[in-house]
Amino acid sequence: MIRKYRMKPLTAEAIRWDGKDETFREVARLVSKLIVHEGGRLYIPIQKKGQEATMKAEVGDYIVRDKKGKVYPCKADIFEVYYEPMKEAK
């Protein structure tokens, strides 16, 4: 029998990379690792299957840190399908 499913609500912290030094500092705080900014791109170290790897983010991408602490870049069109801003707690 075919059933309909919906994705469980996702929550994450994220910032959109705009290529500016001010945003670079915010991304560095979010990632909590040494990242490299070169020619408008960000190079973010990650753990992948127990090994160090590097992911590249372009201007306009979101840098996401999920509930498990995993950090990754995400293209804006994909990010905006799955995420919307949450209201700030008072």
Strands (E), the chain: 12-16, 36-38, 41-48, 51-57, 62-66, 71-74
Instruction: Report the distance separating Cα 48 and Cα 89, nearest Å.
Output: 34
Tens-digit pLDDT profile for residues 5-63: 887 788 899 999 999 989 999 999 998 877 888 888 999 887 777 788 889 999 999 99
Domain ranges (residues) in the chain:
12-82
pTM above 0.75, yes or no: yes
Residue 10 · residue 82 · CB < 8 Å: yes
Instruction: Report the distance separating Cα 33 and Cα 28, nearest Å.
Output: 7
Strands of the 62-66 sheet, one edge to the other? 12-16, 62-66, 71-74
